[in-house]
Every structure is written in structure tokens, then in C-alpha cells.
Amino acid sequence: METTTVFVCLASIVIIILILPLVLLMRFQNRMPVLNRLANQLLIRNLAAQVPPQTQGLNTRTTTVWTVVYIIFSSLISLMAFYSAHQIVDKKVKPVTVSWIKSDTLKMKPGPVWFYYNKKNGTLNTLHAINENDKTQLASLINDDDKVFQSYSLAVDQLAFASNQPKDSDIYFWLTLLYAIAGLLGVQLRTINNFIGIACYKKTFDFHTWWPWYLVRPLLGFITGGVVFLLIDSKQLLAGESAGGMSALALTAAFLGGFSADEFYELLRKVSKRIFGG
């Protein structure tokens, strides 16, 4: 169910991006000459008066309302896609488990959030790819003079080995998709903020100039979220100390990457110029 929801939501945004320009072209085909003539007259008048261009006279209440509808609709389906993708990832990432001993009397110190000893089933569980430092931390949970310490150490070694085995590639696909949608949510929040500021406060919203910008912004945020995921070491991400194998910090980074997509790509442009010149 969640898989269908994710793809239906994303497909809806893509279809809108592909079809809306054709709809606008058909809708304003007869009015384009008039709009162009009005824009040119207004530009000449502003240049003669040496004042900044004023374009709000070229908009209508209808275009503003439809822009609001598009922003709200794309934001809602983006939120639905994120929730569904999060549910899928949460179900796919399961703890790594090894058998040890069943004991109700074993004295074990509290461990990290990604580790759990199930006394009833006698299993050690981890949501985390265990490294050498983690093994040392887990070994300290039982006193080294305890009679079960040797078997516990061997079980931790087995757990560390199992947790570092290659994971199903399907989880990487869904993680990438989840972070891409997080970037999509970020850019939608930025779009809402920009639209309110321009349409309500500055009153300079120019639909006929900026509709392509509003149209492709979801795609830009989606790509940015995926790029942020790729820039972050995915193995370290999966080893993050968070339930479900997802890093809240990395999700926040993807969201902020979408929110500040313009600044993000400007930074990439500066870095590429410094590296490659030009």
C-alpha cells in the first residue's frame, strides 16, 4: 500500500510538471499577444520614468488562485509520499540478531540505543553496523570476571560480523528515495514562504514570468535531497545511531538542502569553478 502511495504521489507531480505548460499554452494562446504588448508598454513607461518595473498589473486573481492550488496540492502529495516512504524504510530495516544465552539473572549494564539484549529469547540485537569501538563498548556491558564474559565476547564478535554483511540493495533505493522526498518537502516549504512574501506583502507576484520557476521547484528539491544523500557516506548513514536505520541528522540535511536549493547549487557552482576553473 505504501509503495503504491509513494509512486502515485511522485507520478502526480511529474504529470503536472509535464502537462501544465501545455494547459497554460492552450489557455493563454489567444491572450499572449495582448499580454506581450501590455508588458512592452509597461516596460517602456517604467524606463522612461526610471522606476523599477511593476508587473502586478499583468496578473489576474485566477492565475494567483491556481498558483496557490498547485502549491498546496504538490505540498500535500509530497507529505503523503514522505510518510509512505518512511513507513517502507522503517519496515525494511530490521535488527541483526544472534543467539546467545537465556538468563533472567544476568547483570548487564545499560547499552547504547541501537543495541538490545532479549533475555526471554536469549538474543543480542543491533540496528547498527558494529565497528571496533562499538565492540569495546559492548564488551564493557559485562564485567570481565563474569563466567559468561568469554561466550558474550564471542557472541558480540558474531554480531559485529553479521551486522557488517552487505545489505539488500533494495533498502538503498528506498533510502535514497526517502531523502530525495525530504528535499522535496524542504523546497515546498521555501516555495510557500516565497509566494506569501511576494504575493501578500510585496505584491509583486508576476505569474506570466515566474510560473516555470514554481513549476519545476519540486523537481529541483527532489534532486537536491538525493544529491545530499549521495554526498553523505551512505554506509555511515546506515550505521547511524537511530532506530530504523535512518539518520535524523541526514534527513534534516536533505530537508535543508531542498529548502535552500538556490544557495546549495550556488555553492556547488562556486566549488566547481574553483576545481575546474572557468
Report the C-alpha gap between 8 and 6 in whole angstroms: 6
How confident is the model at residue 206, as a pLDDT?
80
Tell me the three cell numbers of residue 42: 509597461
Query: What is the Rg, in whole angstroms, of the alpha carbon atoms belonging to the chain?
Result: 27
Same-domain check for residues 180 and 241: yes
Q: Evaluate if residue 119 carries a pLDDT over 90.
A: no
The Cα 96–Cα 168 span in angstroms is: 13
| pLDDT at res. 275 | 84
Q: Is the domain of 52 the same as that of 113?
A: no
Task: Decide: 159 and 124 in contact? Cβ < 8 Å.
Answer: yes
129 and 233 share one domain:
no
pLDDT of residue 276: 81
Of 131, 163, 195, which marks where a domain is finished?
163
Q: Cell numbers 485566477 correspond to what residue?
A: 62
Report how far residue 278's alpha carbon sits from residue 275's, in angstroms, rounded to the nearest whole number. Answer: 9
CB 81 within 8 A of CB 10: yes
Shared domain check, 191 and 85: yes
219 vs 164 pLDDT, higher one: 219
The string of pLDDT tens digits covering residues 78-117 is 999 999 988 888 877 778 889 988 877 777 888 888 888 8
Judgement on whether residues 174 and 155 belong to the same structural domain of the protein: no
36 and 80 housed in the same domain: yes
pTM of the model: 0.70
pLDDT of residue 251 exceeding 80: yes
DSSP 229-273: HHHS-HHHHHTSSSGGG--HHHHHHHHHHHHTHHHHHHHHHHHHH
Domain boundary among 114, 139, 163: 163
In one-letter notation, the amino acid at residue 145 is D
Residue with cell 537511530: 242
Domain boundary among 130, 145, 163: 163
pLDDT, tens digit, for every residue of 202-219? 878 887 778 888 888 999
Is residue 172 located within the same domain as residue 268? yes
- Domain interval for residue 134: 96-163
In this prediction, residue 52 carries a pLDDT of 52
pLDDT at 55: 46
Identify the residue with better confidence: 50 or 189.
189
Residues 140 and 190 in one domain: no
Q: Mapping DSSP to helix (H, G, I), strand (E, B) and coil, where does residue 31 land?
A: coil
Query: 108 and 77 in one domain?
Result: no
Residues 28 and 114 both lie in one domain: no
What is the rounded distance in angstroms from the CA atom of residue 190 to the CA atom of residue 195? 9
113 and 210 share a domain? no
Asked whether residue 242 carries a pLDDT value surpassing 50, the answer given is no
Give the number of domains in the chain.
Answer: 2
Confidence at residue 240, expressed as pLDDT on a 0 to 100 scale: 45
Q: Are the C-beta atoms of 196 and 69 separated by less than 8 Å?
A: no
Residues 84 and 105 in one domain: no
